[in-house]
Structure 1
Amino acid sequence: MADRAQRRGIRNKKRVIAIAATVLGAALLVLCGIFVYRTVINPGIVFELPPKKATPMPTQAAGALPGQVEEEGPQLIADEDFMRGRVNILVLGMDSSAERRETEREDFRTDTMLLVTINFNTGKVDMITTPRDSYVKVTKATGELYKVNSAAYFGGGLCHSGFMNACDTISGVFGGIPVPYYIGVDMDGLKALIDAMGGVEYDVDVEFRGDSGQMYKKGLQHLNGTQVLDYLRLRKGYGTDVDRQARQRRMLVAIFKQLAQTGQIKNLPKIYQALSDMVYTNLTFEQICALVAFGASFNDWDNIGQYTLPGEYHTAYGVYYYLLDQKAKADLVKKVFGVEIGIDKKHDIHYVLSDPRNKNTGKEAEEQDGEDEPDETKPVKPDKSEAPDKSEAPDKSEAPDTTAAPKPPEDKGASEGDGAPADES
């Protein structure tokens, strides 16, 4: 009797274990199914946020001095659901070369501000660059207008709050279109990515000598990480900053096209973890996987929309800026996003150039050496609670005085010259 009871107890335990294993297995299958659905079948779902109304961007009143904010600016004119199935990600590039570490004391302003917008419903991808010298309203900059590349500085530097301040600033530039995500990449991180994927095939469009001393010919060639940086760092004698940004966009497309076509894009989450010290982002791992799944199935690489916000380079209020054509900008937003934004007339290139107080305005025709004059104004310190650690602190000696005319912290790598809006779609 005792043996029979013991055997019955063992059978009951096995049955319980089997039931538990079945339930656990079913739960895992459900979770895996949800993950696959959210990241592979419907990747856009992991980016959906409650829609919110756009915040109007302040503009300058007709009688105000440059930088004084008194009126409401462009407001988004659209149904609140226009962002459903779409994600906007701001890609920020920082160059931490040894030369810039020495000259700027770890103050790496954003060299690149590229808005990538993905419409999961249509499969369309567009890339829009805001030139770093653009004369815009910078969030947290005490109502003043500065160069857009100072946005991270005013948010606290190379940290989450700094990058989010850049996102908020770009959102304002685009009339309030949400920009909730960012990816910040140091040039060293890009070099490591290129080397990890075994180099990239790229059709070099100019003949040049790189920072490494190597000479490059035009044409299709295999580039390693160092060679890619040589190409992307081209400044003096190779067009304007707008031209440099176009080269950056073409290189990014070439990189991700190769990752997708070789199947290496599936390893991107693992590569990201290995390079995490050189990449800043607020994307979750699930969102990264969703983007990887989208990229793996994407096959329209040659039709990615590539644009630069339209405008021209001019000296305005004593500072060299990229002045935006606000009407053309609104037309571009309509083309890409299908929504209308108001026209920010007081910050338009035509208004600034006709301002009688702007005595030093003039279009710069000759090519410069790629170096801006340093700003002698007093610093504005970011909120200490948000500032990065000392090793990443912005160069405060170059920050603007809030009482002065809109004169931002000048970056050392700006390239001057005429800049025509680029449309490479």
Structure 2
Amino acid sequence: MSEQSSSESRIPSRGKRRRERSRRRKALTVAAWSAAVLVLVGGSGLGYAFFRLNGNIQGIDIDSALTDRPKNLDNGSMDILVLGSDSRSGANSEYGQDEGAARSDTAMVVHVYKGRKTASVVSIPRDTLIDRPECTDEKGASAAGEKRAMFNTAYEVGGPACAVKTVEKMSGIRMDHYIEVDFTGFKKLIDKLGGVEITTTKPIDDAKSHLDLAPGTHTLNGEQSLGLVRTRKSVGDGSDLGRIQLQQAFMKAFIEQVKSVGVFTNPKKLFDVADTATKAITPDSELESVPELMDFARGLSGLGAKDVHMITMPVEYDQVDPNRVIPIKAASQQVWTALGHDLPVPASAVKDSAGDKGEAGAIVKGR
């Protein structure tokens, strides 16, 4: 009896020590972020780094251009629309000439669950035919709505505000934030991180994206990484759906790379990465300063690749134009309803979707 009592009395003690260690680890993480901010703001240079980084950030006022938005449920979760712009102007001209206004080459709705420990990412194929709403961009210009318009034309005709409005109409979910990433900035950020390690299970040879990879492990530089996320003709069925699977696999590898490079223990690397990242993105106006971005990033710092569930919005090939896809209404609604209630996306929602079939996603694996 006494032995049992002694054993039982030790169990809470071990649990307490685990909780104390967990609290210490969290405290160290917060301390690391705080130290990083202090290095940037208060180190040698008397705030030069802070003002330089702050000057890099050019935000977009989404709210003033939007009305009649979905209700903000404020359930502790967070939804972010992330767009990769395919603008060919300026430094991006080496990837081809503009054929008009820029379009959203990559679109992802990132849902971070309450507690910031897990996330779901829903990729929206740019070739999806949708009913685009009437839009007003951040300059006050209006653009008429259109039925069976390609999803990426929303950005083309109305900029970020129209892209956000279109996603909110499709999903019924209010986007808390908007972040746009451009080609050249993405490439430079990868180089500052020292590349991203991936393993290819099959050869990838795509002349259009200037990528030639044999099966095996590679550390991709910025140029190669950009080529990978733009590759489509040499993987799967050659469609945008295969490219999305490559993008999702690469993003998981990218997340692991960010967590492994020791940014927050190396002030110079921290500054170099932060300087490049703040030039690479265009956020909404609520993330338009270094403190706001740092607070935002700190909330996501605990996420690893294993904590992020990636899918493609359930779609099927359009019967009129097989080069386009259309949402599977019931399945898509399952996805958006789950995220709206801060719940995991049910496997049944993507069971019959063309977006999560094929071999492209298995061609690239992270470390």
- TM-score bracket, normalised by the shorter chain, equals 0.5 to 0.7
The answer to whether the 8 Å contact 1:263/1:296 transfers is no
Counterpart residue type for residue 340 of structure 2? F
- Measure, in 2, the Cα distance between the counterparts of 1:339 and 1:302: 18
In structure 1, the residue matched to 2:302 is 297
- Measure, in 1, the Cα distance between the counterparts of 2:323 and 2:206: 27
Query: Residue 83 of structure 1: SS of its match in structure 2?
Result: coil
1:191 aligns with 2:187: yes
Counterpart residue type for residue 131 of structure 2? K
Trace 1:18-417 onto structure 2 (pairs within 5 A).
Answer: 55=68, 82-95=73-86, 96=88, 98=93, 101-102=96-97, 104-105=98-99, 107-121=101-115, 123-139=117-133, 140=135, 141-145=143-147, 146-155=149-158, 162-175=159-172, 177-211=173-207, 215-239=212-236, 240-264=239-263, 271-282=273-284, 283-284=287-288, 285-298=290-303, 300-316=304-320, 320-338=323-341
Cα shift readout 1:104-146 (whole Å, capped 9, x = no counterpart): 3463311111111112425221110111111112232523221
- Measure, in 1, the Cα distance between the counterparts of 2:171 and 2:256: 27
> If the length of structure 2 is used for normalisation, what is the TM-score?
0.64
Counterpart residue type for residue 422 of structure 1? D
- Measure, in 1, the Cα distance between the counterparts of 2:322 and 2:194: 43
- Measure, in 2, the Cα distance between the counterparts of 1:295 and 1:84: 17
Counterpart residue type for residue 296 of structure 1? S
For residue 311 of structure 1, report the CA deviation from its aligned partner: 1.1
- Measure, in 1, the Cα distance between the counterparts of 2:292 and 2:310: 23
In structure 1, the residue matched to 2:354 is 420
Distance 1:286 1:206, change over 3 A: farther
- Measure, in 2, the Cα distance between the counterparts of 1:313 and 1:228: 28
Instruction: Report the aligned-residue RMSD.
Output: 3.4
Considering fraction of residues, name the structure with more helix.
2
Query: Residue 221 of structure 1: SS of its match in structure 2?
Result: strand
Query: Residue 233 of structure 2: SS of its match in structure 1?
Result: coil
Query: Residue 178 of structure 1: SS of its match in structure 2?
Result: coil
Counterpart residue type for residue 89 of structure 1? I
Distance 1:269 1:251, change over 3 A: farther
In structure 2, the residue matched to 1:347 is none
- Measure, in 2, the Cα distance between the counterparts of 1:295 and 1:180: 14
For residue 315 of structure 1, report the CA deviation from its aligned partner: 4.8
Distance 1:202 1:170, change over 3 A: same
The answer to whether the 8 Å contact 1:306/1:422 transfers is no
Identity %: 24
Distance 1:219 1:295, change over 3 A: farther
The answer to whether the 8 Å contact 1:118/1:125 transfers is yes
Q: For structure 1, which runs of at least 5 residues remain unmatched after alignment?
A: 1-31, 40-53, 57-75, 156-161, 341-417
The answer to whether the 8 Å contact 1:113/1:129 transfers is yes
The answer to whether the 8 Å contact 2:131/2:146 transfers is yes
- Measure, in 1, the Cα distance between the counterparts of 2:190 and 2:339: 30
- Measure, in 2, the Cα distance between the counterparts of 1:126 and 1:182: 16
Distance 1:339 1:120, change over 3 A: closer
The answer to whether the 8 Å contact 1:93/1:186 transfers is yes
Query: Residue 421 of structure 1: SS of its match in structure 2?
Result: helix
For residue 256 of structure 1, report the CA deviation from its aligned partner: 2.1
Query: Residue 326 of structure 2: SS of its match in structure 1?
Result: strand
- Measure, in 1, the Cα distance between the counterparts of 2:235 and 2:197: 21
Cα shift readout 1:49-90 (whole Å, capped 9, x = no counterpart): xxxxx958xxxxxxxxxxxxxxxxxxx7xxx67433222111
Query: Residue 178 of structure 2: SS of its match in structure 1?
Result: strand
Q: For structure 2, which runs of at least 5 residues remain unmatched after alignment?
A: 1-29, 38-66, 136-142, 344-351, 362-367
Cα shift readout 1:21-62 (whole Å, capped 9, x = no counterpart): xxxxxxxxxxx99x96xx9xxxxxxxxxxxxxx958xxxxxx
Distance 1:81 1:111, change over 3 A: closer
Query: Residue 219 of structure 2: SS of its match in structure 1?
Result: strand
Query: Residue 297 of structure 1: SS of its match in structure 2?
Result: coil
- Measure, in 2, the Cα distance between the counterparts of 1:122 and 1:193: 24
For residue 263 of structure 1, report the CA deviation from its aligned partner: 2.5
The answer to whether the 8 Å contact 1:90/1:179 transfers is yes
Counterpart residue type for residue 334 of structure 2? D
For residue 99 of structure 1, report the CA deviation from its aligned partner: 6.0
Distance 1:138 1:204, change over 3 A: same
